[in-house]
Copies of this chain bind each other. A is one copy, B any other.
């Protein structure tokens, strides 16, 4: 039985293994996984089969054997400013689309504040009819909505943006500043309407209650359309790292605008050009100009299995799997190439494909054992397509690191090592 390939380099139809109509023996026909062993006689019974198990605990944690599944912590100014740090989600150790809250990425300008939730208030003031302050108890009575959304740091994938040689790192260090949660909270619209926004109040300044007082200007139209005051993350109260007890959530917008530990929404006429938005979070263009307010995260994808630092266990059948997302709307298509971009095949998007949420894609791949170059390219409903790294670099100043949504290429060497390469 011959294989029917969807593109070069061994890519099979995306429905080959998962779709309907897989006949018994198809796995063997496409190349036996060769990973099975015959059933053998039981050895002496282990302790866990002969003794009662452990007592229950009120709040569970991962198994002790999974202790190395952890955030990758990057402190770029470790001596000067230890409280300034990035913590990347280990995307290559996870499956599915929800990020466990304990592994959600973090970016801190001044560490994680330890707030007293009973004292915390969200104030809405400025160009409003009725300045208001809300405590946690009051907010519990408001109608709530839930949405699964990704958050991504504007600086995600900065290593690939600025390093001259492709850095040899894993998905956690290279692309881990993106995570996906079910967020629940009160629509900002309800709170703003209760305060009564004056016609000239076209912007909001959201201010966090941490020591750096991170502040960002938010278009009123965005806040009214789909902004949320998020109180819950994956079912429970937002974790301290993600803004306990409350944060702004602006679906599709760069991470820092989703202000954590938010304590004030000041309604103003025009952008405030705070230190955070005029300094750190601007995009430097090739022509010397600057995008002062760049909000929406671009369409992007990354192959997580296999990815940098992993090693293949010999030729044969694999499932290439990864994550895709776009700040504009749902991902419409992800293509995968296994032959350095000479041909592309459409990957399977695993349902449900949600708006501005991570989506899992996959495609079976028969690795011949020869060197290969794996890439994924995402499309969204606006027609945007993920650029190659060199296309992306052309647009920006060499110093720019923000909004790098370029294609990640992984080289698979003959001995099965998976390496980061620039294309």
Task: Provide the bound-state CA to CA distance between A240 and B62, in Å.
Answer: 7
A1 interface residue, CB < 8 Å from B? no
A399 interface residue, CB < 8 Å from B? no
A163 interface residue, CB < 8 Å from B? no
User: Are A39 and B131 interface neighbours, CB within 8 A?
Assistant: yes
Given contacts A39-B125, A112-B53, A133-B38, whether A94 and B142 have CB atoms under 8 Å apart is no
Q: Which residue of B lies closest to A138 (CB)?
A: B35
User: Are B102 and A143 interface neighbours, CB within 8 A?
Assistant: no
Task: Provide the bound-state CA to CA distance between A18 and B183, in Å.
Answer: 16
Task: Provide the bound-state CA to CA distance between A15 and B194, in Å.
Answer: 17
Task: Provide the bound-state CA to CA distance between A184 and B356, in Å.
Answer: 21
Q: Which residues of B contact A317 (CB under 8 A)?
A: 141
Q: Which residues of B contact A279 (CB under 8 A)?
A: none
User: Are A96 and B232 interface neighbours, CB within 8 A?
Assistant: yes
Task: Provide the bound-state CA to CA distance between A376 and B80, in Å.
Answer: 57
User: Are A236 and B94 interface neighbours, CB within 8 A?
Assistant: yes
Q: In this complex, which of A48, A104, A209 has the most chain B Cβ atoms within 10 angstroms of its Cβ?
A: A48
Task: Provide the bound-state CA to CA distance between A9 and B27, in Å.
Answer: 60
Task: Provide the bound-state CA to CA distance between A209 and B54, in Å.
Answer: 14
Task: Provide the bound-state CA to CA distance between A396 and B14, in Å.
Answer: 48
Task: Provide the bound-state CA to CA distance between A239 and B59, in Å.
Answer: 11
Q: Which residues of B contact A95 (CB under 8 A)?
A: 144, 146, 184, 231-232, 235
Partner of A71, one of B17, B33, B59, B106: B59
A87 interface residue, CB < 8 Å from B? yes
User: Are A313 and B141 interface neighbours, CB within 8 A?
Assistant: yes
User: Are B62 and A239 interface neighbours, CB within 8 A?
Assistant: yes
Q: Which of A210-242 contact B (CB under 8 A)?
A: 210-211, 213, 231-232, 234-237, 239-241
Q: Which of A7-30 contact B (CB under 8 A)?
A: 17-18, 22, 24-28
User: Are B48 and A115 interface neighbours, CB within 8 A?
Assistant: yes
How many chain A residues touch the partner (CB < 8 A)? 118
User: Are B103 and A28 interface neighbours, CB within 8 A?
Assistant: no
Question: Which one, A116-124, A283-291, A295-303, A332-340, is touching chain B?
Answer: A116-124
A56 interface residue, CB < 8 Å from B? yes
A46 to chain B minimum Cβ distance, whole angstroms, is 7
Contact with B along A303-341 (1 / 0, CB 8 A): 001000000010011110100000000000000000000
Q: Which residue of B lies closest to A362 (CB)?
A: B143
Partner of A239, one of B60, B97, B119: B60
Contact with B along A109-151 (1 / 0, CB 8 A): 0111111110100010100001111100110111111100000
Given contacts A61-B102, A319-B141, whether A96 and B27 have CB atoms under 8 Å apart is no
A244 interface residue, CB < 8 Å from B? yes
Given contacts A39-B125, A40-B133, A53-B114, 5 further A-B contacts (CB under 8 A): A35-B141, A53-B108, A66-B236, A97-B146, A143-B319
Q: Could you tell me which A residues sit within 8 Å of B by CB distance?
A: 17-18, 22, 24-28, 33, 35-40, 46, 48-63, 65-66, 69-71, 73, 82-83, 85, 87, 93-104, 106, 108, 110-117, 119, 123, 125, 130-134, 137-138, 140-146, 182-184, 187, 189-190, 193-194, 196, 209-211, 213, 231-232, 234-237, 239-241, 244-245, 305, 313, 316-319, 321, 350, 352, 354, 360, 362, 364
